[in-house]
Amino acid sequence: MLSEATMEKLTVLADAAKYDVSCSSSGVGRKNTGGIGNSASCGICHSWSADGRCISLLKILMTNVCAYDCAYCVNRVSNDVKRASFTPEEIAQLTIEFYRRNYIEGLFLSSAVEISPNNTMERIVKVLQLLRRQYHFGGYIHVKAIPGADPLLIKEAGYLADRMSVNIELATEDSLKLLAPQKSIEKLYLPMQEIKEGINHAKEEQGIYRHAPSFVPAGQSTQMIVGATVDTDQSILFRSENLYNHFNLKRVYYSAYMPVNEGAKLPSLQTEPPLLREHRLYQADWLLRFYHFSADELLSVQQPNLDMDVDPKMMWALRHLEQFPIEINKASYQELLRIPGIGVTSARRIMAQRRVQMITYDALKKMGVVLKRARFFLTCQGRYYGDAVMNEEHIRRQVAPPQQHHQVSLYELGAIS
């Protein structure tokens, strides 16, 4: 039976877990196998909290008692915060009770490293075993792979969980040394490598035996903090591309740095989280995954940061005006994807309609193309619909958000005169 004491722990450990960004419950379609719960491959959001982020999984830490002292983390050992630990049984019960009432889609279990990586990972595996074998829970489970834990434990977890993740948090070795001296990139890559091998191995076996068990079927993900160090967008995006290519990651999450700790090596507590920069990085990430872009097309040593005024695809297009305008009725799918304002959906629709009917400019709007951006970069039946001049300055003025005006105060006026 759950009690008030569990309630107390829940608030502490939810508070401690909320800086983890990942919330998705997608990637696995599974029917109920005679217990409670199934899983929808599209993922299901159950609510949205006051910060506008979706709540899909019950996101909690096993414990926030931590041995590490990472400068950016709210749970670091040198912080004076309320500490609490769940027992595996408590977590399992809480998950089932929340799940039955349709509050959540499953469990997201992370943890601070309390005694040793092995000890922590063991307790995570315990929760997995309880939920899957005792409660016959078929819902979604996302757990952390604790760097430094025994490969056998990670393997055991992988066969029971749907998604696993290791947060690398910082994009470069230098930043890690500065803020999390007890961690290193190699140590973080190790569990990722193990998970990747596990996935490949299980896929091979499933090719031979139809009922071979799947391993982390929804893939692995990671997250990086944006704005805690001097890392440029270039180093972050190159790191992501590297992770996608080498570890077959499903997602890389970006989290705008929220100053929760004071420290000489950290931005001051008054720093606003760089939400726009985070947004631009997500847009660039989408270009990598769905639009056939590569990181070095977007960013270089000369231009290491994304444009804050326009989205990354527009930024790229403005730098490559020589490749435009593109004729909608002739372009290949890949070329269509390069036009700002045309996404995967509208590109597919254009390809489909072209088979039966010529596409007119009016039709583009009805298909969901964002003409505000797209009209500068395309021709439709040979006609250009942008303005008389096609240069960067002009297009930028049309698509960038207007400058924010503010009322001038008397003091500022004084400074001018």
Partner 1 sequence: MILLYDDSFYGLLTCIFEHYYVERIQEIYGKTVFQGSLIDETRFVVTDEEKAQRVERAIREKLSYEGYIALYRTFLSNDYHKDCYILKYLKHAFKLGKKIDQYYSEPFVINIRKLNRKVGFEAHRFLGLIRFEQRGPFLYAKIEPDHDILPLIADHFSDRLQEEQVIIHDIKRKKAVLANEGRWIIQEVSSEDDKGIFAEYPIDQQEELLQKMWKGYFEHIAIEGRYNPKCQQNFVPKKYQKNLLEFK
**Long-range contacts from 293-297, C-beta under 8 angstroms, 24+ separation:** 294/241, 295/234, 295/237, 295/238, 295/240, 295/241, 296/238
Q: Which is nearer to partner 1, 4 or 322 (CB)?
A: 4
CA–CA distance, 193 with 179 (Å, rounded to integer): 24
**Could you list the residues that contact partner 1 (CB under 8 A)?**
1-4, 6-7, 10-11, 14-15, 17-19, 31-32, 34-38, 40, 42, 44-56, 58-59, 94, 97-98, 100-103, 105, 256, 258, 273, 275, 349, 352-353, 355-357, 359-360, 362-363, 366-367
Torsion, Cα 199 201 205 210, to 10 degrees, reads: 0
Give least dist CB 53 to partner 1, A: 8
Give least dist CB 135 to partner 1, A: 11
Per DSSP, 133 falls in state I
Give least dist CB 172 to partner 1, A: 25
Q: Which tokens belong to 271?
A: 């720093």
Give least dist CB 369 to partner 1, A: 10
Q: Which is nearer to partner 1, 248 or 353 (CB)?
A: 353
Q: Do 318 and 373 touch, CB atoms closer than 8 A?
A: no
Give least dist CB 54 to partner 1, A: 7
Give least dist CB 192 to partner 1, A: 26
Give least dist CB 44 to partner 1, A: 5
What type of residue is 196? K
Per DSSP, 409 falls in state P
Q: Which residue has the tokens 């009805």?
A: 366
Q: Which is nearer to partner 1, 85 or 242 (CB)?
A: 85
Give least dist CB 55 to partner 1, A: 6
Give least dist CB 397 to partner 1, A: 28
Q: Which is nearer to partner 1, 52 or 402 (CB)?
A: 52
Q: Which tokens belong to 189?
A: 């890559």
Give the number of other CB atoms < 10 A from CB of residue 269. Answer: 10
CA–CA distance, 332 with 269 (Å, rounded to integer): 50
Q: Which is nearer to partner 1, 38 or 172 (CB)?
A: 38
| Cα-based distances in Å from 380 to 189, 316, 330, 340, 371 | 48, 22, 9, 15, 12
CA 306, distance to chain mean position in Å, is 18
Q: Which is nearer to partner 1, 15 or 205 (CB)?
A: 15
Q: Which is nearer to partner 1, 72 or 247 (CB)?
A: 72
Q: Which is nearer to partner 1, 193 or 360 (CB)?
A: 360
Q: Do 182 and 68 touch, CB atoms closer than 8 A?
A: yes
- Segments in 248-391 forming alpha helices (H): 275-290, 295-298, 312-319, 333-337, 344-354, 361-366, 371-374
Q: Which is nearer to partner 1, 300 or 345 (CB)?
A: 345
CA–CA distance, 258 with 169 (Å, rounded to integer): 13
Q: Where are the beta strands (DSSP E) in 155-304?
A: 163-165, 220-226, 251-256
